[in-house]
Structure 1
């Protein structure tokens, strides 16, 4: 999850550098406007990558307290801990898929923005 945030942040930063350079050289053109629009979309996609970071953790502390209060055996506590951990892993699978998809989309948009900015510099 943290790697996705770093990748999204740096890719939008590199695209912003290229777009800013294109805007400073010569008269602004349609390529510059397109690069700026794509940069804005890449920035929004980077925010989506950061917002998707909502992993679920198993509440082991709560289960240990319940075991103490209700006098669970070690075997029952272990089974409850395993069930809570498996439930957390299952709950996180869609989050990881969403982060992967949004990161790939964000990097793609950032790359496209950078390419358009370079084309603007070359024309």
Structure 2
């Protein structure tokens, strides 16, 4: 089950880690993604810290850490093929994080996210 942030990120729990990507809505708003810079594995991050740079033909944007924790993996395919984000945003994850607090109850569910994007 996916959870969402108001910043248009999706979160999926996988064991004691959280997989993070951007929503289809965010991908559509960005347009064709041409560059992705991912965080380093092992990096400790705080909630709200800018950790991914994503650039499209329309804009440059930062993706923030939705939770504090340690980056455990990154999607190595994205820097070489950033268009994967446009092809299928729900499988083109950016990073995995082992959060200090894995509670996702404060995030939006599908219905609440759909209301947000209207």
The TM-score with structure 1 as length reference comes to 0.20
Higher relative contact order (CA 8 A, sep 6+): 1
User: Which structure shows the bigger proportion of residues in strand conformation?
Assistant: 2
TM-score when scaled to structure 2? 0.20
